[in-house]
Amino acid sequence: MIVKLTDAQILALWSWVWISDNGANRVRPRPSWKKKLYEAWSRAGEGIAGYSPELQQLRNQRGPAWLEKQTAQSIDRLSLRVRAFTAEKEAGK
């Protein structure tokens, strides 16, 4: 049985993969994001900036085989609903 990703896990993964392009109004994939996440997973995030419990949960629930199939673009598409909801919530404050 595959466990559904939580909104927090999706946002943590998106934040790991995508970075702001030097203050520009756009983002781009972080260089070597997948390799760096594998490395962080192997160290349980020890001493890795930006690593979060949600990323560790992803590793425990889905594992490296799941990550291998993912692309930066697929993670971006996966996060669209969550990011739109979060932005809407922020705007309503």
pLDDT computed for residue 88 by the predictor: 79
pLDDT computed for residue 91 by the predictor: 81
Task: Name the token pair of 31.
Answer: 């260089």
pLDDT computed for residue 73 by the predictor: 95
Backbone angles phi, psi at 31, to 5 degrees: -60, 135
pLDDT computed for residue 87 by the predictor: 77
Going by C-alpha positions, the residue among 23, 32, 29, 21 that lies closest to residue 75 is 29
Query: pLDDT tens digit string along 26-58?
Result: 889 999 999 999 999 999 899 998 899 999 999
- The residue behind tokens 């595959």 is 2
Query: pLDDT tens digit string along 70-85?
Result: 999 999 999 998 888 8
Residue 76 CA to residue 91 CA, distance in Å, equals 21
Domain ranges of the chain: 7-18+30-91
